[in-house]
Chains A and B, each alone.
Chain A
Amino acid sequence: MVELKRFRALVTSVAALLLAVTVTSCGGSSGGGGEEETGPVTLRFSWWGNAERAGLMQQALDLFHSKNPTITVTPSFQEFEAYWQKIATETAGGNAPDVLQTDFAYLREYADRRVLYDLKKQEGKNLDLGDLVDGLKGVGEIKGGLYGVPVGGNTWGFVYNPALYAQAGVPEPKLGWTWDDYRAGAKQITEKTGVFGSSNPIDTYYNLELRLRQEGGSLYTEEGGLGFDRARLAAFLAEGKKMADDKAALPVEKGVQIKPKHALESDLVAGSPAWDNFLDRYSKATKAELKIAPSPSDNPQVLGQYLKPALLLSVSQKSEHPAAAAKLVSFMINDPEVGKIFGANRGLPPTNAQRSAAQLTGPLAAVAAYEDGIKDKLGKTPPAPPKGAGSLEQAFIRINEELLYGRITVDQAVDQFFTEADETLGN
């Protein structure tokens, strides 16, 4: 009897399973029907971020729904790396979300592959770009089309711990300081305080870009090739290697162990080149009071920094509701309430209306003051990096790490980087 009961239970559960499969597959096929734009619309919206940002996003989306009752937004979020894996697979499966957050380094890759919708078609209708701050106007444009709208801006800078500078008797960084000042100061701090003077500048691609821009060059050419030669890269890497040998910069093995945390968060260094809005994150992680200054430059005329779209919103080419999607994007960058909700979570807000609505306090107020102070020193934002720039940035970090571990020489590092650049940018 027991056996028979079990058998029945099995049959019932198998039947239930089959039924469930049938029901869900039916649901899937009927969902994609093309409703009229006037009827209720459901948008899928994906972004990367953490739980804190998700909470803010939900507030903003609730507000959007209350103002546009016919549009429902289904949100989903991931961490940065997992996000790109997911977007890539969803796109390959023809199932990309209607609205998606994009990064400057990936924008061209996705635009070139005709994954993104040209928002020029909605500009002035459902998308209002008139109030964007000067540095962010037109940054999502590629070959005449508009593929991303910035929802926040940030710029490079030098984040430091003033107490350690004072302890070592090194003057605090300020506009006009040079790379020699930076290196000598870092060395002195390590010697006097026992805390390493700086993170190693060659661990970030943007430090190379900064140097090139200060010399009048750029990271990539207009045609999408590398904007520097082997000798320039070798000199840059040799400088970083020397800082490590002099103990002016944090040893690579220390930095590797604490990843994904930054050395400033673990009180391992007295300063580091960084994106300015990260001042907030670093300040929350450490007890030390941190400040931000402009980057060093050997060229007093050119600071080399620019306003970068911290992140952008794009609409999928395959979206069936581009008008509603554009409305959402427009709302996200223009609505003052949204500016108040996010503050500088995604970099400083992109429009004048949102900037004045955002009530910034503490480190975020410091970031706003910093950007205001160097406003007229900022250069033009470069065009979106070429396809493959994301991978190349990873290669840069990986190769320089091997250099700092002493596994390869500067020349070998340069060779490896140019080989990978040929492969990545060539295709």
Chain B
Amino acid sequence: MATVTPVRPVDATPPGAPGPRGARRRSGDGITGYFFLSPWMLGILLLTLGPMATSLYLSFTDYDLFDTPRWIGLDNYARMFQDQRWLRSVQVTALYVVLAVPVKLAVALAVALLLNSERKGQGLYRAAFYGPSLIGGSVSVAIVWKAMFSDDAAVDQVLRVFGVHTGGWSGNPDFSLLMLVLLATWQLGAPMVIFLAGLKQVPRELYEAAEVDGAGRWRRFASITLPMISPVVFFNLLMETINSFQVFTSAYVVGGPNGQPAGTTLFYTVYLFDRGFGDYRMGYASAMAWMLLLGVGLVTAFLFRSARGWVHYSGEKA
């Protein structure tokens, strides 16, 4: 932030170049701007909006990758509600979102609070806590994670020291989802950094004033920190919720296309992928994708609505 040097392109133009800024902007800059944007515009049109429109169309057909798609109206959408595996995948995903998002945010906030104080080697700690997020969605981490939670592997052995006998979590339907929640929590870097930035913005005077009034630690946290960083909490909540609905890589690596063990890791996206590329039911898979968009949209709308009650922006009247 401190190294920004003001750049004035107009000053750099050779003498004799066309006149005042306003006029130039109207005639030439617009086209140049669009020219520079064109790679991204083309990308969005060809690689995002085009496929999205196609997928919307396919969701109303019985497309199977080989034969010409046949229009079947809303059949795909209607069939979902009778599809046991679809219902299971919705359950699994919902349970995961409800577990993983609060746990991850709570831990991220706790870590951010610890890292916010002045201490020696703080930079090192920050890097250490952020590290796991850099290798985020990679396949290798999920493989290592699965190996750690197998019979007689690291986690099993540590728990046994405390007299807990669970066996390998990756083969146990009662623990398999929890294992993925822990994986998500471990990768708390992104929300943690944002929390940290939010915490730095809280004015010190507020704490000093509260201390003078005799407020304890918990009181200061609940009455100053939380309300002051509530926009950041909201932002993190939103991002994590949307991301959690779309978790795929770790689930696919741990549970495969069938959501092993016993369908407990059959996430929505995993089932969608299996339907499309395993069973070649592309029409159905497309319909599932739009249903997911609808579901995430509804949840997001709900979060925005609820935010009115608990998110405080500075400059706003409480």
Binding site for B on A (CB under 8 A): 3-4, 14, 17, 81, 84-85, 88-89, 91-92, 113, 115, 252-259, 391, 394, 397-398, 401-402, 405, 407, 416, 424
A402–B171 CB distance below 8 A: no
A residues near B279, Cβ cutoff 8 Å: 391, 424
B288 nearest CB across to chain A (Å): 16
B151–A397 CB distance below 8 A: no
Q: List 7 A–B pairs whose Cβ atoms lie within 8 Å, in order of A's numbering.
A: A89-B277, A92-B66, A255-B171, A256-B261, A257-B168, A401-B258, A405-B173
Q: In B249-286, which residues have CB < 8 Å from any A CB? A: 256-258, 260-263, 277-280
Report the separation of the CA atoms of residues A89 and B168 in the bound assembly, to the nearest whole angstrom: 37
Knowing A14-B39, A253-B168, say if A398 contacts B65 (CB, 8 Å): no
A401–B39 CB distance below 8 A: no
Report the separation of the CA atoms of residues A257 and B150 in the bound assembly, to the nearest whole angstrom: 6
B171 nearest CB across to chain A (Å): 3
Report the separation of the CA atoms of residues A397 and B274 in the bound assembly, to the nearest whole angstrom: 15
A residues near B39, Cβ cutoff 8 Å: 14, 17
Determine if B67 is an interface residue (Cβ-Cβ < 8 Å): yes
Report the separation of the CA atoms of residues A254 and B66 in the bound assembly, to the nearest whole angstrom: 38
A256–B277 CB distance below 8 A: no
Which residue of B12, B84, B171, B280 is within 8 Å of A257 (Cβ)?
Answer: B171
Report the separation of the CA atoms of residues A386 and B171 in the bound assembly, to the nearest whole angstrom: 33
A401–B67 CB distance below 8 A: no
Using A92-B65, A257-B170 as known contacts, list a sample of 8 further A-B pairs with CB atoms less than 8 Å apart, ordered by residue number in A.
A14-B39, A88-B277, A89-B65, A115-B66, A253-B167, A255-B171, A256-B260, A258-B150
Q: Could you mark each residue 140-176 of chain B with 1 if its beta carbon is under 8 Å from any beta carbon of chain A, else 0?
A: 0000000000110000000000000001101111000
Report the separation of the CA atoms of residues A246 and B204 in the bound assembly, to the nearest whole angstrom: 67
Q: Closest residue of chain A to B67, judged by CB?
A: A113
A398–B261 CB distance below 8 A: no
Q: Closest residue of chain B to A255, judged by CB?
A: B171
B278–A253 CB distance below 8 A: no
- Could you say which interface size class chain B belongs to? 20 to 34
B277–A85 CB distance below 8 A: yes
B residues near A3, Cβ cutoff 8 Å: 7, 9, 12
B171–A91 CB distance below 8 A: no
Q: Closest residue of chain B to A395, judged by CB?
A: B258
Q: Closest residue of chain B to A93, judged by CB?
A: B65
Q: Closest residue of chain B to A401, judged by CB?
A: B262
Which residue of A4, A394, A401, A402 is within 8 Å of B257 (Cβ)?
Answer: A394
Knowing A391-B279, A407-B173, say if A259 contacts B66 (CB, 8 Å): no
B residues near A113, Cβ cutoff 8 Å: 66-67
B280–A88 CB distance below 8 A: yes
A394–B12 CB distance below 8 A: no
B258–A394 CB distance below 8 A: yes
B residues near A14, Cβ cutoff 8 Å: 36, 39
B286 nearest CB across to chain A (Å): 13
B residues near A401, Cβ cutoff 8 Å: 258, 260-262
A147 nearest CB across to chain B (Å): 14
Q: Could you mark each residue 36-53 of chain B with 1 if its beta carbon is under 8 Å from any beta carbon of chain A, else 0?
A: 100100000000000000
B residues near A253, Cβ cutoff 8 Å: 167-168, 171-172, 261
A residues near B278, Cβ cutoff 8 Å: 85, 391, 394
Q: Closest residue of chain A to B167, judged by CB?
A: A253
B256–A259 CB distance below 8 A: yes
Knowing A397-B258, A398-B258, say if A91 contacts B65 (CB, 8 Å): yes
Q: Closest residue of chain B to A89, judged by CB?
A: B65
B residues near A88, Cβ cutoff 8 Å: 65-66, 277, 280
B residues near A394, Cβ cutoff 8 Å: 257-258, 278
Q: Closest residue of chain A to B259, judged by CB?
A: A398
A residues near B277, Cβ cutoff 8 Å: 84-85, 88-89
A171 nearest CB across to chain B (Å): 31
B200 nearest CB across to chain A (Å): 32
A residues near B170, Cβ cutoff 8 Å: 256-257
A142 nearest CB across to chain B (Å): 16
Report the separation of the CA atoms of residues A271 and B172 in the bound assembly, to the nearest whole angstrom: 24
Which one of B7, B261, B277 has the highest number of Cβ atoms from chain A below 10 Å of its Cβ?
B261
B87 nearest CB across to chain A (Å): 13
Q: Could you mark each residue 77-121 of chain B with 1 if its beta carbon is under 8 Å from any beta carbon of chain A, else 0?
A: 000000010000000000000000000000000000000000000
B37 nearest CB across to chain A (Å): 11
Which one of B39, B151, B258 has the highest number of Cβ atoms from chain A below 10 Å of its Cβ?
B258
B149 nearest CB across to chain A (Å): 9
Which one of B66, B167, B172, B263 has the highest number of Cβ atoms from chain A below 10 Å of its Cβ?
B66
Report the separation of the CA atoms of residues A398 and B258 in the bound assembly, to the nearest whole angstrom: 6
B66–A402 CB distance below 8 A: no
B residues near A81, Cβ cutoff 8 Å: 257
Report the separation of the CA atoms of residues A404 and B173 in the bound assembly, to the nearest whole angstrom: 12
Which residue of A4, A84, A398 is within 8 Å of B263 (Cβ)?
Answer: A398
A402–B12 CB distance below 8 A: no
